[in-house]
């Protein structure tokens, strides 16, 4: 309700003229309309009191939640965590991996292994028959060859047929606009794009800043913030209703002299997350990736993964992961 825009197609009494009157008074969403007193709406819209009540009741019935008796629903056990394929990271996340229904964010500077880690997660999920990972690529960085290398490196060698089926369960979509991203997440929440006989377990979006930086020169922040609101609402709906683990890729930005964004929550290395203060509380868990020292004589790279903020993990906890061409370990 909070992010749903007031439009003329929501009710016959909400004509274009009435909508413009409401917009002039900064009543642009269903929520803002419903919470305003009827007397104030009478003055703004010139509609009769009976009409105001009628429209309010209609919008509440259409968009508000309904209380139902929990006893009418059969008890179901909580879904098992999804292993990331990196044992040390699974231990850091507690419980054995990514929690279904939870929204995670991998944050870090460019080149800290965020995409490789997300590919490792997706590859590990689709090893399980019937499990599907949906990978939204906004930077053209997805590598099917890398997924194949990660799957081939598993201790339990997959047959050629098993490898083909596993790779087919990684659905990839390239998206280059925030509007289309929001629409795709909403459709995933409605159960579309999921093949029969498979369950969507993991959604990865790599990455968010590449889309929202399109608005960096915009004179108004209304549109980008509105789209961010729609996105997080849709992600939370998808995660909660379909028990999907969501992994978002974001950048960290260095603090520069003369910043005008006000006080920001900085990570331990002095950087802050992209997308502004508005986005800081959006993910349930934010993990910070940083480069670790290189080990002489080894082609592998080492990175630290640290809990930046979380609603169920202790902030500051960290592990070191080893990154190779065949994924993270």
pLDDT at position 71: 64
List, for residues 77-116, the tens digit of each pLDDT value. 778 899 999 999 999 998 889 999 999 999 999 988 999 9
For residues 190 and 93, membership in a common domain is answered with: yes
Burial class (CB in 10 A: 0-12, 13-18, 19+), 118: buried
Number of domains making up the chain:
2
Round the average pLDDT of the chain to a whole number and report it: 86
| Statement: residue 296 has pLDDT above 60 | no
253 compared with 299, residue with greater pLDDT: 253
Residue 82, in any domain of the structure: no
Residue 81, in any domain of the structure: no
List, for residues 29-61, the tens digit of each pLDDT value. 888 888 899 889 989 998 888 888 888 888 888
pLDDT at position 281: 84
Tokens (6 digits) for 182:
């929001």
Is the peptide bond between 207 and the residue preceding it cis, with omega within 30 degrees of 0?
yes
List, for residues 231-249, the tens digit of each pLDDT value. 998 999 999 999 999 999 9
264 compared with 271, residue with greater pLDDT: 271
Residue 270 pLDDT grade (very low, low, confident, very high; cuts 50, 70, 90): confident
Spatial separation of the C-alpha atoms in residues 259 and 255, rounded to whole Å: 7
Where would I find the beta strands (DSSP E) of 31-155? 103-108, 131-137
For residues 223 and 300, membership in a common domain is answered with: yes
For residues 177 and 240, membership in a common domain is answered with: yes
Q: Residue written as tokens 């992961």?
A: 321
CA distances from 236 to 171, 197, 225, 249, 274 (A): 20, 24, 17, 16, 20
List, for residues 14-23, the tens digit of each pLDDT value. 888 899 999 9
Q: What is the number of other CB atoms lying within 10 angstroms of the CB of residue 191?
A: 11
For residues 171 and 309, membership in a common domain is answered with: yes
| Statement: residue 264 has pLDDT above 70 | no
Beta strand pairing status for 199-206 and 131-137?
parallel
Beta strand pairing status for 301-310 and 285-291?
antiparallel
pLDDT at position 116: 93
- Where in the sequence is the domain holding 132, given as residue range(s)? 87-328
- CATH classification at residue 13: 1.10.150
Give the 3-state secondary structure percentages of the chain, helix then strand then coil, rounded to 5: 40, 20, 40
List, for residues 64-83, the tens digit of each pLDDT value. 766 666 666 566 677 889 99
Residue 4, in any domain of the structure: yes
Look at residues 76, 105, 136 and tell me which one is the last residue of a structural domain: 76
Where would I find the beta strands (DSSP E) of the chain? 103-108, 131-137, 170-174, 199-206, 245-253, 272-273, 285-291, 301-310, 318-324, 327-328
- Percent of the chain whose predicted confidence (pLDDT) is above 90: 44
- CATH classification at residue 190: 3.40.50.300
| Statement: residue 304 has pLDDT above 60 | yes
Residue 2 pLDDT grade (very low, low, confident, very high; cuts 50, 70, 90): low
Look at residues 27, 42, 76 and tell me which one is the last residue of a structural domain: 76
């Amino acid at each position: 309700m909070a992010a749903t825009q007031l439009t003329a197609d929501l009710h016959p009494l909400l004509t274009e003229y009435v909508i413009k009157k409401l917009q002039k008074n900064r009543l642009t969403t269903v929520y803002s309309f419903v919470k305003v007193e009827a007397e104030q709406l009478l003055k703004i819209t010139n509609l009769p009191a009976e009409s105001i009540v009628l429209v309010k009741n209609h919008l509440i019935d259409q968009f508000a939640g309904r209380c139902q008796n929990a006893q009418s629903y059969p008890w179901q056990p909580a879904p098992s965590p999804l292993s990331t394929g990196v044992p040390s990271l699974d231990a850091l996340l507690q419980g054995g991996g990514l929690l279904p229904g939870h929204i995670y964010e991998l944050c870090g500077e460019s080149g800290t292994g965020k995409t490789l880690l997300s590919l490792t997660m997706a590859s590990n999920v689709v090893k399980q028959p019937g499990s599907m990972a949906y990978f939204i690529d906004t930077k053209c960085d997805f590598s099917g060859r890398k997924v194949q290398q990660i799957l081939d490196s598993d201790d339990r060698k997959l047959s050629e047929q098993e490898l083909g089926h596993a790779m087919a369960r990684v659905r990839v979509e390239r998206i280059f606009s925030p509007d289309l991203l929001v629409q795709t997440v909403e459709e995933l929440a409605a159960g579309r794009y999921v093949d029969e006989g498979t369950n969507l377990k993991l959604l990865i979006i790599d990455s968010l800043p590449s889309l929202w930086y399109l608005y960096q020169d915009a004179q108004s922040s209304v549109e980008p913030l509105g789209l961010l609101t729609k996105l997080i609402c849709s992600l939370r709906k998808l995660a909660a209703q379909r028990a999907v683990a969501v992994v978002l890729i974001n950048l960290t930005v260095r603090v520069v002299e003369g910043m005008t964004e006000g006080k920001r929550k900085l990570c331990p290395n002095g950087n802050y997350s992209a997308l502004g203060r508005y986005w800081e509380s959006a993910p349930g868990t934010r993990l910070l990736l940083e480069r670790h020292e290189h080990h002489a004589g080894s082609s592998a790279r080492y990175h630290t993964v640290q809990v930046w903020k979380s609603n169920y993990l202790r902030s500051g906890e960290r592990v070191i992961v080893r990154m190779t061409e065949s994924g993270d370990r």
